[in-house]
Chains A and B, each alone.
Chain A
C-alpha cells in the first residue's frame, strides 16, 4: 500500500515529463491477472471443408499482473504468495508469480479425415476455464 501511494505521488509530481509519467502510470494501472477472451474461428481459418463442428471455440487466455495483495488476483496459489514475497525482497533476481491457467477444459471436434471417414474426438486442455497466479 505504501509503495502504491508512493508510485501515485511520483506519477503526479512528474506530469511534465510525459514519457516517464506514461510509463509509471501504465505500470500502476496494469490490470490484475484475469481471464480474457480469445476465439478461434475454424470458418475464418478456411477449415470448414473438413471440420464439421464446431464453427470455432473460445480458447481464452490469461493476462495481467500478479501484484500485492494477491487477494486481488483470481485463484492465487499458496506458493504464488511466497514467490511474491521473495520477489518483493529481491526484485532483480526473483521473478514475480505468473498469471496462467489454473483450470482447463476440453472441446470435442467433428471432422473428416483424408478417407472421408468422420471422427469425433475429445481434445483436452483446449479452453481456459480459470486463471490464477502461480
Chain B
C-alpha cells in the first residue's frame, strides 16, 4: 500500500514512509491540498486530455519545462525570477512575462439556458473558481478555423461581444469586446483578445453572461454562421473546440498562509 511520501532512510536510498497511519496520511494530503489553495480534491467530470483546452495547456507545460520530463522539473529560484513564466516563450506569448497562473476554460455554453440554442455563436466560461484577488494580465478566446469550403477568396470580419443584462430581465445587450479580420483561406487558431471581459468576470462573476460571436463577409456584407467559414463548433473535432486562455498575476497576499 503506497503512501505517496518517500524519504531518505540515511543510506542514500529513498524508502516509502510505510508506517504512516491512515489518519495521518489523510492529514498530510489535506495539508498539501491546503498549500495548493484547494479545499478539497477536484473532481473533474470526465476530463479528456485530448480536448483542445487540456492539450494546449499540456503543450505549454512541456514547452516551459524543456523536454517535458515531468518527474524532474527544476523551477526558477524565487528571488531571481519574481514571475514564474518569465524565462521562456517570451516571444511566443508575451503575457507569460507577468503571469503566475495560466488557466484554460472549457466552453460551458450548454449549461446556460438562454444561450443553448446558439451554441456555435455563444460561449460561456465559468469564472466561479477564480479568486477576485488575482489580476488578469491577458485573455484570449481561441477559435479554430479550417479552410473555407465555399472556395471563395474573401475576408471575414469576426466580432466578439460580451452579453450583458438589459433593463428588463429578459433583455440582453451586446457590447463590443474585440474584432479581427481573417482571410477565407486561413487555417489555424484565431486569437481574440477578450482581456476586458475576463477582467470584469474576475471582479464581478455575476456579470458573466457569456460572449457572442458575429461573422460578416466583407465583400457582401452578409452575416454568416461560424461553421460556414470553417470555424469548428461543438460538433467538430474535440481537439479543435473553442476555449479561453487567461493569464493571471497573483496578489502577494495570497502567499501569506492563514494561521489555523
Contacts and interface: CB of A to CB of B under 8 A. Distances in A.
Nearest to A42: B4
A127 B85 CA distance: 17
Contacts of A53: 58, 61, 70
B7 A114 contact: no
A103 interface: yes
Interface string B128-153: 11000000000000000000000000
A126 B78 CA distance: 11
Interface in B64-113: 64-65, 70-71, 73-78, 84-85, 100-106, 108
A38 B5 contact: yes
Interface residues of A, number: 47
B70 A61 contact: no
A50 interface: yes
Contacts of B7: 36-39, 61
B44 A114 contact: yes
Interface residues of B, number: 51
A37 B13 CA distance: 9
Nearest to B54: A118
A41 B35 contact: no
B187 to A, nearest CB: 25
Contacts of A129: 77
A47 interface: yes
B255 A50 contact: no
Contacts of A61: 7
A44 B5 CA distance: 8
Nearest to B3: A44
Contacts of B45: 116
A37 to B, nearest CB: 4
A113 interface: yes
B36 interface: yes
A113 B36 CA distance: 12
A131 B10 CA distance: 16
A89 interface: no
A30 to B, nearest CB: 11
Interface of A: 36-47, 49-50, 52-57, 61, 103-127, 129
Interface of B: 2-8, 14, 29, 32, 35-36, 41-47, 49, 53-54, 57-58, 60-61, 64-65, 70-71, 73-78, 84-85, 100-106, 108, 126, 128-129, 250, 255
6 tightest A-B CB contacts, nearest first: A45-B4, A122-B84, A44-B2, A112-B44, A37-B8, A44-B4
